Amino acid sequence: MVFSNNDEGLINKKLPKELLLRIFSFLDIVTLCRCAQISKAWNILALDGSNWQRIDLFNFQTDVEGRVVENISKRCGGFLRKLSLRGCIGVGDSSLKTFAQNCRNIEHLNLNGCTKITDSTCYSLSRFCSKLKHLDLTSCVSITNSSLKGISEGCRNLEYLNLSWCDQVTKDGIEALVRGCHSLRALLLRGCTQLEDEALRHIQNYCHELVSLNLQSCSRITDEGVVQICRGCPRLQALCLSGCSNLTDASLTALALNCPRLQILEAARCSHLTDAGFTLLARNCHDLEKMDLEECILITDSTLIQLSIHCPKLQALSLSHCELITDDGILHLSNSSCGHERLRVLELDNCLLVTDVALEHLEHCRGLERLELYDCQQVTRAGIKRMRAQLPNVKVHAYFAPVTPPTAVGGNGPRLCRCCVVL
């Protein structure tokens, strides 16, 4: 027999342990646990630490408590390189201290949504996990500046740090962090609402390798801070400024003059930005691939013309609530090289001047995969149907006003409710 409850099964006799371990290394957690129940030999093989270098417990988040993490750390020891505890709200500081002591080679740790943890966990990581490169602390709301000081002192190889919605973090914490972690390439600070321009000045001074920065909803940030970042981080490729409502074209000018490698810009709800700023940006940042300009209410077709001319790599563009955009702007976008070859996603929600004519232009965008048209009141079902005849693979999300079906006498028949449709 190839498989047997007896440890003398043929597969165990014919294949050396090293090869069996190699086979087991391709199995996921659930399969490894099942294999561990086959026989004593397979139990040893399945639970060998070398098979547990990468563990993701997200699918088991409701069942994971501290003792589970402690047992895993004891089993894996120095083999474990990557662990995701995303959403495991039952895990706290004590179990993560045990984890840090046992798994000192950990490089990638995701604690997103582990709301029980405090600064104590970061002290443990600082003390025992010097090889840590990637750390996600999203929504760990008890984290304070003290955590960042500890990380700075003990985790100097850190390249990625996500502090989104850690709203106790201030400029002092950012200063402590960047003084020790000069290798940071990605820093996500969404919802860190206490941050001001001075925090960005510290990043400018120490994080010259930074390629990705997220400042979404950091509403105290002004042009001065963005200018400092652009001057100190010329390798920047992705920048999120959505919800930074104080920004003006001065920020776009700084990006255009200092960050030519920029690929992603998210500037939703930055309502003071104009065509002038985006014109300069397009003329200098030719690698742009994704732009979120939702509620940049001052931009017109002029911005689309410049993007069409200068940004041939553009793949995703959101213009939702940009109510000055017309069919003519869509015409230029559709006829450009990015329209013909690259454009995959276009969001036009609440663009009130866009009509079925724009959909005719978009028929030239052969790679288009998704089109958003909610509240485009001049777009009709017939127009969408004609476009989809030319682009059968595109998903169109649209919103239509109530319909009153005819009745035998008069027009007071029952009304259909409003509907959002995917066509």
Q: For the residues of 227-282, what is the DSSP string, one character each?
A: HHHHHH-TT--EEE-TT-TT--HHHHHHHHHH-TT--EEE-TT-TT--HHHHHHHH
Give residue 303's pLDDT: 98
As given in the structure block, the two tokens for residue 386 are 């004609």
How far, in Å, CA of 289 to CA of 343, rounded? Answer: 9
Give residue 407's pLDDT: 46
Strand, coil or helix: 197:
helix
83 φ/ψ angles, rounded to the nearest 5 degrees: -140, 130
**Inter-residue contact 169 to 163 (CB < 8 Å):** yes
Q: What is the pTM of this model?
A: 0.88
Tell me which amino acid residue 49 is: G
Give residue for tokens 């139990």.
43
DSSP output for 102-159: H-TT--EEE-TT-TT--HHHHHHHHHH-TT--EEE-TT-TT--HHHHHHHHHH-TT--
**350-384 residue pLDDT tens:** 999 999 999 999 999 999 999 999 999 999 999 99
Give residue 420's pLDDT: 46
238 φ/ψ angles, rounded to the nearest 5 degrees: -135, 125
- Mark the ranges of the chain whose per-residue pLDDT is less than 50: 1-5, 406-420
Give residue 289's pLDDT: 98
Give residue 406's pLDDT: 47
